[in-house]
Chain A
């Protein structure tokens, strides 16, 4: 048992396979348009990884992760929008130099809280900090009062609804229901070209792996085992001398930070941010990505996001009305037949067979430790 290592052997294999899929396979078989689509799907997997920690390990089901995805995305969009709104570009407006939607809403000056977003450094900081601060406030308010389970899920859902309404209502400050659109350049670099899209796809992939490593570190630390313990026997953890609320707040904030990064990468790759990505429906979809992947598995979360979104695009192109039914059916099927999702299918069905095959080949001196490492 290599207890202090970051990976078990099968986890290491899993990470390597995912790296091959993201950095070699997908770019090789997809054209730029499709690659950009998959890049977009991968931004959702940032959220799903956070959910795998919060919900899968810690038992904290949040139905409002879209809030953090949206906040991260909006922070990035605000920077890009300011860069796109130079006085030259906006010369036809009655107030040149402010974003177009502000002009349409009779604003004559940039609101003070938009000012810092002229700086990319600040915007990148805010992409993580704003969701984390928000999650921290919710976390302190809920977990210190011992709100949990279904109540917590409902309250997070309410937050998703509130933020959507707020964004739509404050049209002059947020772009309203259209969101923040017509984003063009990042420090003068045009993000709409094919070349930029490919570069952004790789940046996204690298960030995804950074987040995966962080999540893996948490899972393998004592904190990861504590999360599982809290899920099973919260009182026992409390009476073993742990302040349970602070652990819940931490993991909820970490999930929010991951979601914020995903949101920012979404904005960069897709070129806009809108309230439809913040609300209840996307928040619940993100839980489905995580469930389909296998809610305990961080790698499964990535595959879940990819598979469900790929299916969504494929089916909704041909059967737009039936897609939601299909999504619902998929969710039910996963819960009924494969409660551990894709990760469960892999570790229960595929991997044992692969190991058997490897063992059969005489060159491989199979170690007994190989069998005893569960793949999650």
Chain B
């Protein structure tokens, strides 16, 4: 559904944000193609999470432009950005601990988002089928009636990914999806992500290089709010600048 005949799903151009004079993101530009899995890496404080915050409207940009399928996201409210088709997963798993897994997924189901829509919302067969489907994808179909508070850390990460999947976003942004996971969970998550990214664009922030190699189409290395290097995993790994500031140690 690319109405503008744009080759890119997301165009970030000249993006800058300044916190009291400190430029956390400084004149950053990058472009994401349909079905691409872009991984952003970089040392701590490089501005990775801030970039995602800017795209999804959590932080207001000082300058620049973020165009998603031709729409300027910087002028939209957070929930409008979500409805445009951008989903965001946070770094720490953000699930509703007092609600069950089923209810967590249900609240993310893309229907009844207005006040009166939510009052009138019915848990019909279509909703249940879809939730069951997503729960199987994220390995949680056995825990639908359990409170999210009782899930393990890794399961909470999966649940949050599931909450995004049920919205079926065209652009999915994941902030450190495997942080704090066991080796087995990591493998399962890589598998999960590979299945998910098949029919959408994804931006992932990750530190785990093995994991990055597994999923990345292209890699952007951020350093001090600017692009240090960009390209295939192999190219980036062999870039001397990247080795110096990030991979070297």
Contact = CB atoms under 8 A, between A and B. Distances in A.
Interface of A: 1, 3-4, 217-218, 221-223, 225-226, 228-229, 231-233, 235-244, 246-247, 250
B58 A235 contact: yes
B118 interface: yes
B112 interface: yes
Contact of A4 (B83, B112, B120, B122): B122
Contact of A225 (B87, B88, B107, B145): B107
Contacts, number: 82
Interface in B196-239: none
B58 A221 contact: no
Contacts of A240: 82, 107-108, 163, 167
A interface secondary structure, majority: helix
Closest 10 CB pairs of A and B: A241-B82, A222-B121, A236-B94, A223-B118, A229-B96, A222-B118, A250-B115, A233-B94, A243-B79, A240-B108
Contacts of A250: 115
Contact of A228 (B79, B99, B106): B99
A81 to B, nearest CB: 36
Interface residues of B, number: 36
Contact of B96 (A233, A239, A241): A233
A225 B106 contact: yes
A243 B116 CA distance: 12
Contact of A232 (B56, B97, B108, B163): B97
Contacts of A241: 79, 82-83, 110, 113, 167
Contacts of B120: 221
Given A225-B99, A225-B106, A238 B119 contact: no
A159 B118 CA distance: 30
Contacts of B167: 240-241
A96 B77 CA distance: 57
A229 B99 contact: yes
B101 interface: no
Contacts of B108: 240
B63 interface: no
A233 to B, nearest CB: 5
Contacts of A1: 145
B203 to A, nearest CB: 14
B119 A218 contact: yes
Interface in B133-151: 145
